[in-house]
Amino acid sequence: MYNLDLVTGIIIAANVMASLRGFDNRIFFERYKFNVGQIRRGDQIRMFSSGFLHVDTTHLLFNMLTLYFFAHTVIAQLGTLSFVIIYIASLIFGNLLSLYFHKDEFWYSAVGASGAVTGVLYAAILLNPEMNLYMFFIPIPIPGYVFGIGYLLYSIYGMKNRIGNIGHDAHFGGAVGGYVVTLLLLPSLFKTDLSHVALLAVPIVILFVLYKTGKLH
* pLDDT tens digit sequence for 20-68: 999 999 999 999 999 999 999 999 999 999 999 998 899 899 899 989 9
| Structural fold of domain 6-212 | Rhomboid-like fold (1.20.1540)
Which is higher by pLDDT, 199 or 156?
199
Tell me what pLDDT residue 217 has: 60
Residue 166 has pLDDT above 90, yes or no: no
Q: Which amino acid is at 151?
A: Y
Count CB atoms within 10 A of the CB of residue 142: 15
Which residue from 10, 50, 55 is spatially nearest to 32, judged by alpha carbons? 50
Question: How far apart (Å, rounded) are the C-alpha atoms in residues 197 and 199?
Answer: 6
Question: How far apart (Å, rounded) are the C-alpha atoms in residues 118 and 94?
Answer: 9
Mean pLDDT of the chain: 88
Question: How far apart (Å, rounded) are the C-alpha atoms in residues 141 and 122?
Answer: 17
Determine the average pLDDT of the residues in 143-165: 76
Question: How far apart (Å, rounded) are the C-alpha atoms in residues 106 and 214?
Answer: 22
Q: How confident is the model at residue 1 (pLDDT cuts 50, 70, 90)?
A: very low
Residue 124 has pLDDT above 90, yes or no: yes
CB 174 within 8 A of CB 119: yes
pTM of the model: 0.90
Residue 133 has pLDDT above 80, yes or no: no
Determine the average pLDDT of the residues in 78-87: 97
Q: What is the pLDDT of residues 179-213, one digit of tens each?
A: 999 999 999 999 998 999 999 999 888 888 887 77
Which is higher by pLDDT, 165 or 43?
43
